[in-house]
Structure 1
Amino acid sequence: MHNTLLHHFYNMLIIEQDYFECHEIMEDAWKSKGTFTKMDKEVFLVLIATAEYHYRRDNLNGAKRSYIRALNIFHSHPFNLNSIGLKESFIDLIGERIKEIDDAPFKPLSYPIIDSVFNALYEASDFDSITEFESYLNEIHIKNHETVHRHKIRDRTDVIEERLMALNRKKRD
């Protein structure tokens, strides 16, 4: 997975908190690989973004299922978390998130990202100091309707047309 893709993903995940877009970014990256399986690192990140999306919208069951599926991928096909921009402590953080989800209102995660990802996000920001940037990261909580409910309000015309065409092809075959 190349650094530009990861930086874009983490900008959407941490700064923009557009979890739906994170899902789209990583799903596209996953599907563009020559060969792919549902046990790939990209799917792990898709599921984390999906879990955050569900949690923020109070779909706790959907969030738990997505977090658990992500952890199952990691535990059944372990990989170096640094290769996807995360520190090893992330797995424990997700375990804690699952345990606390029923009793804690959604709050964005403080992702334990590796230094190169942090530095790329900082360099792309308008902050004058790292301290200022770190404070911002600890406080940011996007709540606008368009971001929080993206999958319900997006234009799905192309998806509906594609499904209809696939259904018509199936009927002809």
Structure 2
Amino acid sequence: MQMAASYPLSYISYLSEFHATRDYFECHELLEEYWKAHQGEELTNTWHGLIQVAVGLYHHRRGNTAGAVKMWSSALTRLTTDKLEQLGLDAEAMLRDLAQRRDALASDASYPYTDMELPIIDPHLRETCLKQCAERGWRWGTPSSDIDEAVIQRHLTRDRSEVIAARRQAVLNKQKERS
């Protein structure tokens, strides 16, 4: 099992946000940046899968059943026991919980949202996350019921100017290719 010092800071921050702020949108942002910068590496699919776990929770909490089921289904194809264990997690427990959530929501759109805990089995990783939370004034295990509505609806307030500009540029590039 790895020691916490060998885990990427983005992953530690992801875990801290995941369990303390429940800001799944921020979890996505933190790990997406790392994932994009480390394409083709051993854990590329795992980073992507963990992003999808957070995005699925974000969707489920907001009532977007189809989005949650889609994200969790995709995550379950990317996440593997050996890679999750490399990242200090109880892979079997996590994958079982994720599959149960996905299946329950897929069969019943009224299946209620509950916070998910990622089962950290590396005590050094857990301690590092707890320390980061304490430094930031966060409380590990904060329930979503204590989270500000702005966090739950984060997509409504984010700055999308870079995304819009990139899409505009892609359209222009395609137009140039056709000419």
With the length of structure 2 as denominator, give the TM-score of the two structures: 0.78
The match for 2:59 is 54
**Equivalent of residue 32 in structure 1, options 17, 28, 37:** 37
The match for 1:167 is 171
> 1:43 Cα deviation (Å)?
1.0
Q: What's the % identity of the aligned pairs?
A: 25
Coordinate RMSD, CA, aligned: 2.6
User: What secondary structure is seen at the aligned counterpart in 2 of 1:79?
Assistant: helix
> 1:149 Cα deviation (Å)?
1.3
Q: Which blocks of at least 5 consecutive residues in structure 1 are unaligned?
A: 128-132
28-37 or 5-14, which deviates more: 28-37
- Does the aligned pair in 2 maintain the 1:26–1:46 contact within 8 Å? yes
The match for 2:15 is 10
1:125 & 1:62 partners in 2: Cα distance? Answer: 29
The match for 2:128 is 120
Pair 1:80-2:83 in alignment = yes
> 1:158 Cα deviation (Å)?
1.9
2:44 & 2:155 partners in 1: Cα distance? Answer: 24
Q: Which has the higher contact order (CA 8 A, sep 6+)?
A: 2
Report how many residues are paired.
163
After TM superposition, which residue ranges in structure 1, 4 or more long, deviate above 4 angstroms?
A: 36-39
> 1:4 Cα deviation (Å)?
1.8
User: What secondary structure is seen at the aligned counterpart in 2 of 1:68?
Assistant: helix
Distance 1:38 1:151, change over 3 A: farther
- Does the aligned pair in 2 maintain the 1:67–1:94 contact within 8 Å? yes
The match for 2:113 is 106
With the length of structure 1 as denominator, give the TM-score of the two structures: 0.81
